[in-house]
């Protein structure tokens, strides 16, 4: 049974041999049924909670009970992904497909949504006939219960945060770096990791040098930075959402979150994840950049190169242009082309002036960053 239970100390996603057992535990998990049914069928849950939970249990069982591998599980997710795109977006597009290949790749991307950034990359790879990627997620999202099980079934692995002590920090960072590089070198599995810890809640996409140092750590002694970058086929990706379902939440911030209990924190994370998935996103665009083939000599310069790739390939929407003009960050005449979205500002009618300003900054910042290079 050792391979059939959740190992809370492991950072790795589940293997095929664990899938059947884990899915069966989810089919029998009443807490899972209640939590998801209350998010998916809120009105029905209030009126008839037992019917709502039974409906969710039957749906989950019907689609996933026959899964015997990670690939089976992810294939069963495809109809839900298609439905989500149809109902919550005005279209998902992607570019740079010529930069995809069967070669195991380390994708480093900007991070806007808890689950969707990597999901859209996986969906694009699926449509192009390539394997899905392993996904880096923070350990704040894992609690040993149903949420962790779902994420690990979807090829997620753990990035530890708030590590205490130098010895523990070095040990865990080496372990994480070794797993990521082993995934690429030996397991033939590509990786998605965010360019910095957590989402870019202010719209400012930048690469944390500490992330790059961690990734390079396990090969630092035997490979030059250039050799390692080539070996992992390091490829930046840039995703943009016309509307962010969590824009107001991000603008408000999470003051006091550190005082929440684990249960309260996990509930908040689940609510935000579901809101991001179910909320209206307008148009969504993903760009797969060219792999880094002219690696600079330092981590610092490599981070600037990645930033430039992500920012210059970030798809700007009318919401970005409207926000810049509304904040008076640029002169209207200085814009290469005025773009309008009459409905966009209506989203924030009930907000006070200061909060509205913070929300608009989230949309305006990518425009301003797109004009910067090498900074």
Predicted local distance difference test score (pLDDT) of residue 1: 34
Specify the domain boundaries for CATH 3.40.1130 within the chain.
89-313
Strand duo 235-241 + 282-288: pairing: antiparallel
pLDDT digits (tens, 9 = 90+) for 280-333: 999 999 999 999 998 999 999 999 999 999 999 999 999 999 999 999 998 777
Query: 3-class SS at 154?
Result: coil
Q: Is 236 exposed, middle or buried (0-12, 13-18, 19+ CB in 10 A)?
A: buried
Across the chain, mean pLDDT equals 90
CATH fold of 89-313 reads Glycerol-3-phosphate (1)-acyltransferase (3.40.1130)
CA pair distance 197, 161, nearest whole angstrom: 8
pLDDT digits (tens, 9 = 90+) for 193-236: 999 988 999 999 999 999 999 999 999 999 999 999 999 999 99
CB 117 within 8 A of CB 216: no
Is the pTM higher than 0.85? yes
Strands (E), 266-319: 282-288
Tell whether the torsion through CA atoms of 224, 230, 233 and 235 is positive or negative: positive
Predicted local distance difference test score (pLDDT) of residue 254: 75
Q: Is the pLDDT at 117 greater than 90, yes or no?
A: yes
CA pair distance 158, 142, nearest whole angstrom: 8
Predicted local distance difference test score (pLDDT) of residue 274: 86
CB 225 within 8 A of CB 295: yes
CB 189 within 8 A of CB 133: yes
CA pair distance 145, 130, nearest whole angstrom: 30
pLDDT digits (tens, 9 = 90+) for 8-46: 457 899 999 999 999 999 999 999 999 888 878 889 999
CA pair distance 286, 192, nearest whole angstrom: 13
Q: Is the pLDDT at 374 greater than 80, yes or no?
A: no
Q: Is the pLDDT at 372 greater than 80, yes or no?
A: no
What are the CA-CA distances from residue 344 to residues 243, 322, 339, 359 (Å)? 8, 8, 12, 12
pLDDT digits (tens, 9 = 90+) for 162-196: 667 788 888 889 999 999 999 999 999 999 999 99
Predicted local distance difference test score (pLDDT) of residue 5: 37
Q: Is the pLDDT at 71 greater than 60, yes or no?
A: yes
CB within 8 Å of 293: residues ≥ 6 apart: 230
pLDDT digits (tens, 9 = 90+) for 337-358: 667 888 899 999 989 999 999 9
pLDDT digits (tens, 9 = 90+) for 241-292: 999 999 999 999 877 666 767 677 777 877 888 899 999 999 999 999 999 9
pLDDT digits (tens, 9 = 90+) for 122-166: 999 999 999 999 999 987 767 668 888 999 999 999 887 766 778
CA pair distance 368, 330, nearest whole angstrom: 9
């Amino acid at each position: 049974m050792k391979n059939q239970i959740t190992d809370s100390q492991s950072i790795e996603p589940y293997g095929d041999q664990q899938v059947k057992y884990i899915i069966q535990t989810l089919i029998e998990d009443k807490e899972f049924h209640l939590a998801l049914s209350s998010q998916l069928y809120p009105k029905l849950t209030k009126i008839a909670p037992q019917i709502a939970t039974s409906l969710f249990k039957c749906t989950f069982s019907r689609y996933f009970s026959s899964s015997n591998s990670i690939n089976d599980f992810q294939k069963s997710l495809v109809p839900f992904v298609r439905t989500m795109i149809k109902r919550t977006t005005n279209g998902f597009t992607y570019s740079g497909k010529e930069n995809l290949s069967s070669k195991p790749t380390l994708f480093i991307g900007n991070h806007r949504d808890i689950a969707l950034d990597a999901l859209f990359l996986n969906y694009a790879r699926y449509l192009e006939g390539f394997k899905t990627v392993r996904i880096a997620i923070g350990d704040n999202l894992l609690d040993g219960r149903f949420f962790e099980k779902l994420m690990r079934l979807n090829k997620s692995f753990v990035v530890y945060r708030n590590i205490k002590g130098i010895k523990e920090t070095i040990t865990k960072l080496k372990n994480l770096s070794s797993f990521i590089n082993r995934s690429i070198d030996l397991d033939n599995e590509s990786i998605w990791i965010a360019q910095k810890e957590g989402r870019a809640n202010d719209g400012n996409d930048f690469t944390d040098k500490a992330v790059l140092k961690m990734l390079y750590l396990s090969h630092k002694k035997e490979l030059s930075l250039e050799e390692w970058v080539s070996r992992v086929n390091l490829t930046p990706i840039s995703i943009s959402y016309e509307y962010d379902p969590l824009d107001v939440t991000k603008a408000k911030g999470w003051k006091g979150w550190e005082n929440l209990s684990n249960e309260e924190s996990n509930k908040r994370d689940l609510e935000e994840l579901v809101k991001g998935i179910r909320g209206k996103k307008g148009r969504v665009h993903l760009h797969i950049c060219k792999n880094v083939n002219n690696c600079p000599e330092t981590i610092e310069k490599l981070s600037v190169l990645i930033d430039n790739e992500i920012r210059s390939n970030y798809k700007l929407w009318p919401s970005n242009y409207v926000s810049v003009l509304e904040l008076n960050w640029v002169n209207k005449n200085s814009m290469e082309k005025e773009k309008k979205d009459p409905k966009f500002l209506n989203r924030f009618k009930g907000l006070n002036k200061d909060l509205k300003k913070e929300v608009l900054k989230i949309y305006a910042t990518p425009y301003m960053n797109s004009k910067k290079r090498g900074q």
